[in-house]
Every structure is written in C-alpha cells, then in structure tokens.
Amino acid sequence: MSETSRLFTDGEAYEQVMGRWSRMVGERFLDWLDVPTGMRWVDIGCGNGAFTELIVARCAPSSIFGFDPSSGQIAFARTRPGAQQADYQVAGAEALPLADDSADAAVMALVISFVTNPAKAIAEMARVTRPGGWVATYMWDLERDGVPTFHIHAAAKSLGISTGSLPNTVVARQEVMRDLWQTAGLVSVETMVIRIPVRHESFEDYWAIQSLPVGPAGRLIQTMSPDQTEQLRTRLREIMPIAADGSIAFEAVANAIKGRVP
Ligand SMILES: C[S@@+](CC[C@H](N)C(=O)[O-])C[C@H]1O[C@@H](n2cnc3c(N)ncnc32)[C@H](O)[C@@H]1O
C-alpha cells in the first residue's frame, strides 16, 4: 500500500471529514456527465464507497466495479447498504484488473492528485472503456484553495508545520487535466468548475472533524504536542471565516473533466 492510500484507511472517519463534501460535488458532477441509466461503471479510487453509492442511486448502472488500493476503505465500502451490487476490489488506478472495452463509463472522484502516475491511470481508464464510453474525473482545485480542508493546511503552514503534500497537486488544474485527456486520445473533451458551500455549526464542530485520525490533516494533529495543537487552534480561529453566530461557511471548488473514447 502506498503512503497516500495509507492515509485513508478509516472509512467511517473519512465519511465525516470528506465523504459528505464528496457527495455534494459528486451530484453536480454526475448531472453534468449525463450518462444514461443501465450502463457498466468503474469507480476508481472509490475509497469508502460514498461516490459509488451515488452512482448507483442516480445512474442505475447495470454493473459497477469499485477499486481502491486501501483494503480498509474497501472493507468499509462493502458494508454500505446503498451499493450492494458493486464489486469492490483492492486495486490501484495504474493497473485495473479489467479487460479492454469492458466498461461504459470510468470515473475517478477526488483521486487524481493521489495517483503517482496520472497519465498511466487515464490510459488505463481509456483502455477499459468501450468506444463511445465516458472517461471523467474531478478533483479539488488544490492550488487555488479549493479543498474543504484548506484552512487547516494554511494555518499549519503559517506556523512552519508541514501537513505533507499530495503526490500531484498540479494535475488538479483544468489545463493539465485537459492535456492528459488529449494525450490519452480522448475526444469531445469538456471541463467544468464545481463550487459547493461548506458549512460547520461552530469552530468546535470544525475542529472535532478535522481532528479525526484520517487524511493528512487529521493524522498530523494526532502527532502534535498540546502546545502545537493550541497554536494551531489559535491560528485557525484567526484565519477562518467565523460568523457572528459562531458558524463557519465558505466555498469549496473542484475542477472536472470528461471525454469520450473514440
Ligand atoms: C480523497 S479519497 C476519494 C474517495 C472517493 N472517490 C470519494 O470521492 O469519496 C482518495 C482515494 O484515492 C485512493 N488512492 C490513492 N492512490 C490511489 C491509486 N494509485 N489508485 C487508485 N486510488 C488511489 C485512496 O486510497 C483514497 O481512497
């Protein structure tokens, strides 16, 4: 298992930290992708199955595979009631255990920046998708503060604390995605910016969720001294958009791309 996939082994905690935001973006993405019902889907980097469940609910696939290198995430995904028809397997994006042209739609939701070789991953998605089928992805706009956990990374950085970095933040840019899709020979390529409202009842609500031991920020907090933790909380309070009633609201932004296999 790679270092990055090891960051997402607790499916239940992931649901709190990212799963719900993933769902909001995922709904917008699937509406835009506009794949007919009854298709064969592949959800690559399916994680805890949040997005797989959404595909089942909204697109009524005839079959669906969910692949992820994290066995912990796959184990959680298998327990989800909403995607019992899904065939979940431990596998990475760079080597999909599927025959050529065996899917109608291959998607990666919030995954591409974790993949060490995105070009190989897109080539794999195109390989397993039949001519005319869809190859698509979306990722938080990491370089433009689009990720819902942006504030915690910024606060840590301003204190000289590294939250680590994803293998590939650049690939979340629309123009880089477009290059990858074109290099893979995909056609009818289109991009879209997806904006969603992120809201927390209070700072303590936000902090409790960020402290869950999942993802780069949560893992970091677990290893910090009480002093460092207090400094981080103080800095966060300074930079977060906290309203008069104590609630926190901001916008998360993702870039999406879709193309067809010629
Ligand atoms: C932010 S999560 C997204 C999960 C899910 N798609 C969603 O939208 O909720 C990123 C996922 O990418 C997976 N991942 C990391 N490296 C990968 C790779 N090389 N191939 C496929 N998935 C990978 C992680 O294990 C993790 O589950």
Q: Ligand 1 pocket test: pick from 111, 116, 125, 149 the residue with the most ligand atoms within 8 Å of its Cβ.
A: 111
- Cα–Cα distance measured from residue 164 to residue 152, given in angstroms and rounded to the nearest whole number: 12
Residues 6+ apart with CB under 8 A from 22: 47, 50, 51, 109, 110
In the prediction, which pLDDT does 143 show?
Answer: 86
Please name the residues in contact with 189: beta carbons below 8 A apart, sequence gap of 6 or more.
Answer: 178, 181, 182, 257, 258, 259
- pLDDT value of position 215: 73
Tokens, residue 11: 């499916």
Tokens of 211: 């402290």
Q: Which fold has domain 3-141+165-197+253-260?
A: Rossmann fold (3.40.50)
- By CB atoms closer than 10 A (0-12, 13-18, 19+), residue 119 is middle
- Residue 21 pLDDT > 90, yes or no? no
**Rounded distance, CA 62 to CA 59, Å?**
9
What was the pLDDT predicted at 6? 44
- DSSP 8-class letter at 180: H
Distance from the alpha carbon of residue 27 to the mean position of ligand 1, in angstroms? 18
Report DSSP letters for 83-147, one per residue: GTT-EEEE--TTS-SS-TT-EEEEEEES-GGG-S-HHHHHHHHHHHEEEEEEEEEEEE-GGGT-S
Tokens representing residue 66 in the block? 């969910």
Ligand 1 pocket: which residues have CB below 6 Å?
A: 2, 4-5, 8, 18-19, 22, 44-47, 50-51, 68-70, 73, 92-94, 109-111, 114-115
181 dihedral zone (left: phi>0; alpha: psi -120 to 50; beta): alpha
Average pLDDT, the chain: 91
User: 71 C-alpha vs ligand 1 centroid, how far in Å?
Assistant: 11
Q: What is the model's pLDDT at position 145?
A: 85
Report the residue among 3, 28, 44, 68 best suited for mutation to probe ligand 1: largest number of ligand atoms under 8 A from its CB: 68
The string of pLDDT tens digits covering residues 197-209 is 999 999 999 998 8
Q: Which atom of ligand 1 is nearest to the CA of 73?
A: 27
- CA 185 / ligand 1 centre spacing (Å): 24
Say what the pLDDT of residue 1 is. 39
Query: What's the rounded Cα separation, in Å, for the pair 9 and 31?
Result: 29
pLDDT digits (tens, 9 = 90+) for 30-64: 999 999 999 999 999 998 888 999 999 999 999 99
91-144 per-position pLDDT tens digit = 999 999 999 999 999 999 999 999 999 999 999 999 999 999 999 999 999 888
d(CA 167, CA 14) in angstroms, rounded, equals 19
Select from 2, 5, 96 the residue to mutate for testing ligand 1; criterion: most ligand atoms less than 8 Å from CB: 5
- The DSSP code for 242 is B
Task: Please state, in angstroms and as integers, the Cα–Cα distance from residue 180 to each residue in 43, 146, 175, 221, following that order.
Answer: 19, 21, 9, 35
5 vs 114 pLDDT, higher one: 114
Question: What does the pLDDT look like over 138-167, one tens digit per residue?
Answer: 999 988 889 888 898 899 889 998 877 777
In this predicted model, what pLDDT tens digit does every residue of 208-219 receive, in sequence order? 888 887 777 788
In this structure, are residues 45 and 111 in contact, taking their beta carbons and an 8 Å threshold? yes
Residue nearest to atom 3 of ligand 1 (CA): 110
pTM of the complete model: 0.89
Q: Is the pLDDT of residue 11 over 70?
A: no
pLDDT exceeds 90 at position 27: yes
61 near 53, Cβ under 8 Å?
Answer: no
Q: Taking residues 11-34, what's their average pLDDT?
A: 85
Give 86's pLDDT tier (boundaries 50, 70, 90).
Answer: very high
pLDDT score recorded for residue 4: 46
